[in-house]
Amino acid sequence: DAKTTQPPSMDCAEGRAANLPCNHSTISGNEYVYWYRQIHSQGPQYIIHGLKNNETNEMASLIITEDRKSSTLILPHATLRDTAVYYCIVRGDYKLSFGAGTTVTVRA
Amino acid sequence: DTAVSQTPKYLVTQMGNDKSIKCEQNLGHDTMYWYKQDSKKFLKIMFSYNNKELIINETVPNRFSPKSPDKAHLNLHINSLELGDSAVYFCASSPRLAWDQETQYFGPGTRLLVL
């Protein structure tokens, strides 16, 4: 019942921006887009979420297209510690349901 | 000063045994959750408690019984462990019952291996 599609993996150079795409073409009007990440052997960590507008916090930026069918998570200056699996989640209720995510490897 | 903590971190046991996993949060949150992450890394909710009351039970077998002695604790007891119960179990909490706007904070996970 996955509602999102993400590339399975991507590499990024340390210090560069990492742009992580997510497709959610069946998103409904009251559903939010959430991003979490999971560093190896740790629990999922909240990154950011949004409904319609672009959002920015100390960790990342979230760009949501006008039709809301896709979004991009931007890590502005990737570090080695950003190596993790990144999950894009569409959510309209209490449940968080994670798919396979994108494995991001930041290389020195 | 860990926000959401779980014990034990690792649990290896034989099929048929009964085991418990404990979770504590010091964030003052009202709502706590148990999630199961399988070998393919898919994470699915199992239970949710709000103010010590069971709110959500996502068709989990009766062998799994959560207990919340107070708002800060949510334990998971598993009877008659089966091979398929091997997974990573995550506890999480949120300020309130997490509808679309509430962020959930996760513990470090308990890695259960049933032999």
Q: Confidence band (pLDDT; 50, 70, 90) for B100?
A: low
Question: Hey, are the CB atoms on A32 and B101 less than 8 Å from each other?
Answer: yes
Strand residue runs (E) in chain B: 4-7, 10-13, 19-25, 31-37, 43-50, 53-57, 64-70, 73-78, 87-94, 105-106, 110-114
Question: Hey, are the CB atoms on B42 and A49 less than 8 Å from each other?
Answer: no
Out of A42, A46, A100, name the one closest to residue B105 (CB). Answer: A46
At A3 the pLDDT is 82
- The pLDDT mean for chain B works out to 90
Contacts of residue A67, Cβ cutoff 8 Å, sequence gap at least 6:
none
Give contacts of B58 with chain A, Cβ < 8 Å.
95
Residue A92 has pLDDT above 90, yes or no: no
Establish, for the pair of chains A and B, how many residue pairs have beta carbons separated by less than 8 Å.
59
Pairing label, strands A32-38, A84-91: antiparallel
What is the least distance, in Å, from the CA of B24 to any CA of chain A?
14
Out of B42, B99, B106, name the one closest to residue A43 (CB). Answer: B106
Residue B31 has pLDDT above 60, yes or no: yes
Q: Confidence band (pLDDT; 50, 70, 90) for A1?
A: very low
Side by side, which strands form the sheet with A45-50? Answer: A9-13, A102-107, A84-91, A32-38, A45-50
Q: Confidence band (pLDDT; 50, 70, 90) for A68?
A: very high
Question: Hey, are the CB atoms on A46 and B104 less than 8 Å from each other?
Answer: yes
At A80 the pLDDT is 96
Q: Which of A1-5, A94-98, B32-36, B41-45: highest mean pLDDT?
A: B32-36
Tokens encoding A102: 């994108």
The 3-state secondary structure of A52-91, one letter per residue: CCCEECCCCEEEECCCCCEEEEEECCCCHHHCEEEEEEEE
Average pLDDT of the segment spanning B11-15:
97
Q: Cβ atoms within 10 A of the Cβ of A68, count?
A: 18
B85 SS3 class: helix
Residue A103 has pLDDT above 80, yes or no: yes
